Amino acid sequence: MNEKRMLGEDHYEQVIAEESICTNENLVYEKPETLTDTPMHYCPGCGHGVAHRLIAEAIAELDIQDKTVGVAPVGCSVFMYNYMNIDMTEAAHGRASAVATGIKRVLPDKYVFSYQGDGDLAAIGTGETIHTCNRGENILIVFINNGIYGMTGGQMAPTTLVGMKSTTTPYGRDVAVMGNPLKITELIAQLPGVYYCTRVAVNTPANVRRAKKAIVNGFKYQELKKGLSFVEVVSNCPSNWKMTPLESNKWMEENMFPFYPLGDLKVPGKEK
């Protein structure tokens, strides 16, 4: 047992005697009110929880809780509407961006976002995604990329890296048989309807701050009505990568980041 916990009675009394600083005036950070108290069903260390919280924080920061409509995908984050204290709906697999388009066209003054995983957005919903981006709908798409089908048990997704093992590629992804991984963010960044396109991660505090800034920007750009905002979040899947959360973050830094480099792909006013 740790020595620091085995100190005598004196230390215990001294700690108790100190005045606690846990009062409301000293509070610097807590979960935003736009996130409900429901315990999340995600595996320990999953990036979905952080991404949910960042969206909730962005909504709370912009004070648009009653003006936001979200679209949940099919995948691990299918129960997202239980965790967000905003209006949300559920779309068929891959069709979240099409549903978001309809909501935005009927209610043009609302802030609409869709939250999709890589199996949802890049495999089943590729057509919907590309056409929504090409039409330049004024919505925000948050794309969680963990390189695998998480909910169904870790099958190969289009974003699975070359050589990466999954339940359907037990010897690693072979380019000759399964083709190359799909960089969907680079693909849609060149479309003229996309106004803002960036790739962030949620593994370290610095990356979490950048990700929050990107999501806040995505909501802000909806007011301008100039096109679609696309935020890719490179995330981990500790359960299906068969790693601990810390190992999976390290693996993600070593393998995912070289292929999916973080940074802005398209920023308004800074076109190449």
Binding site for another protein (CB under 8 A): 1-2, 4-5, 15, 20-23, 26-31, 35, 39-40, 42-50, 53, 202-205, 208-209, 238, 244-246, 249
Helix (H) or strand (E) holding 105: helix 96-106
Cβ closer to another protein: 46 or 157?
46
Phi, psi of 61 (to 5 degrees): -70, -40
Q: How far apart are the first and last CA of the chain?
A: 58
Cβ closer to another protein: 105 or 209?
209
Cβ closer to another protein: 21 or 177?
21
Cβ closer to another protein: 106 or 246?
246
SS3 call for 153: coil
CB proximity list for 101: less than 8 A, separation 6 or greater: 132, 135, 137, 139
Helix (H) or strand (E) holding 113: strand 111-117
Cβ closer to another protein: 54 or 228?
54
Handedness of CA 54, 221, 232, 204 (dihedral sign): negative
**Least gap, CB of 13 to another protein (angstroms):** 14
**Least gap, CB of 97 to another protein (angstroms):** 25
- Please give the DSSP secondary-structure letter assigned to residue 150: T
SS3 call for 230: strand
Rounded Cα distance, 221 and 205, in Å: 25
